[in-house]
């Protein structure tokens, strides 16, 4: 019940943030612009609509996850409200998890809002409902949860500026982390290969959750690969949250 109370309060606080609504509105506008671009394009309008619309939703969802998450824990510490919260029978683990689940609910509402608008545009433009896009949004939401967990981790021990830099850096690295796995074939020394393996498994492999090209190009989706991606996301989120709790438990407040 305490964890639920923290999560609900975090959700209410996040949705009162004007930046939250601004990013949702801009994301919807960009999704709408993909509809306009599809009408003006000579060729397959549906592909243009899917490509631009899904990319816009992806981009603005990530912005919401980063710039909402980086203030979650730091704001409580800066306002000294953390003392009131932890003085009650609330563990530090419950505080971290409550913040995570609260922002997760916020991200779900934001993504669902943009997804509904996108499906409406797709229906008006092409008269179809592509069920594979639901899989895209599921994997995108898991990607948002990974970014959410990372932002909570950095927010637990650093300032918002540093947390945003670290989170954005890991997000960008997460989409090229496969290069560590490919790069190891060019290495000769076992130590160098070990370092490449270390960074490959340490960094989030967010490209595993990106199926936009398959959806746009209308290529088949492998159920085994999708399930593997889901399991990877769940395990990575759990690992990051455990690390955040361990760090937060050691933190001293002044």
178 against 205, higher pLDDT: 205
Break the chain into its structural domains and give their ranges: 2-175+210-250
Give the tens place of pLDDT for each residue, 38-80.
555 555 677 777 887 888 888 888 888 888 878 777 777 777 7
Q: What is the pLDDT of residue 27?
A: 66
Cα separation of the two ends of the chain: 28
Q: What is the pLDDT of residue 164?
A: 87
72 against 140, higher pLDDT: 140
Q: Is a pLDDT exceeding 80 seen at residue 208?
A: yes
216 against 80, higher pLDDT: 216
pTM: 0.87
Give the tens place of pLDDT for each residue, 116-139.
888 887 787 767 777 888 999 999
Name which of 113, 112, 83 is nearest 95 in CA terms. 83
Mean pLDDT of the chain: 81
Helix, strand, coil fractions of the chain, as percent rounded to 5: 80, 0, 20
DSSP string, 227-239: HHHHHHHHHHHHH
Lowest mean pLDDT among 6-10, 34-38, 120-124: 34-38
DSSP string, 20-68: HHHHHHHHHHHHHHHHHHHHH-SS-HHHHHHHHHHHHHHHHHHHHHHHH
Q: Is a pLDDT exceeding 70 seen at residue 244?
A: yes
Other C-beta atoms lying within 10 Å of the C-beta of residue 11 = 20
Cα gap 139→131, rounded to integer Å: 13
Cα gap 140→211, rounded to integer Å: 9
pLDDT range class, residue 232, cuts 50, 70, 90:
very high
Give the tens place of pLDDT for each residue, 72-111.
777 777 777 777 777 777 788 888 898 899 889 988 988 8
DSSP string, 181-228: HHHGGG--SHHHHHHHHHHHHHS--GGGG--HHHHHTTPPPPHHHHHH
Other C-beta atoms lying within 10 Å of the C-beta of residue 5 = 15
């Amino acid at each position: 019940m305490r964890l639920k109370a923290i999560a609900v309060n975090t959700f209410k606080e996040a949705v009162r943030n004007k930046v939250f609504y601004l990013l949702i509105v801009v994301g919807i506008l960009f999704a709408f612009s993909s509809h306009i671009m599809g009408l003006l394009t000579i060729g397959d309008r549906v592909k243009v609509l899917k490509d631009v619309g899904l990319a816009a939703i992806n981009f603005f969802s990530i912005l919401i996850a980063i710039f909402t998450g980086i203030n979650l824990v730091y704001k409580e510490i800066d306002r000294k409200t953390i003392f009131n919260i932890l003085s009650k029978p609330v563990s530090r683990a419950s505080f971290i998890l409550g913040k995570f689940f609260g922002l997760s609910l916020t991200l779900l509402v934001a993504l669902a809002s943009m997804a509904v608008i996108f499906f409406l545009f797709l229906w008006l433009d092409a008269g179809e409902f592509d069920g594979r896009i639901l899989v895209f949004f599921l994997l995108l939401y898991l990607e948002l949860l990974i970014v959410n967990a990372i932002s909570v981790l950095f927010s637990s021990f650093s300032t918002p500026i540093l947390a945003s830099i670290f989170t954005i850096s890991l997000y960008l690295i997460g989409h090229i982390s496969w290069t560590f796995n490919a790069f190891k074939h060019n290495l000769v020394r076992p130590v160098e290969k070990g370092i490449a393996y270390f960074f490959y498994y340490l960094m989030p492999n967010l490209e595993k959750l990106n199926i936009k090209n398959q959806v746009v190009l209308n290529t088949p989706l492998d159920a085994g690969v999708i399930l593997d991606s889901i399991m990877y996301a769940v395990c990575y989120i759990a690992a990051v949250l455990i690390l955040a709790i361990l760090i937060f438990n050691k933190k001293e407040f002044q």
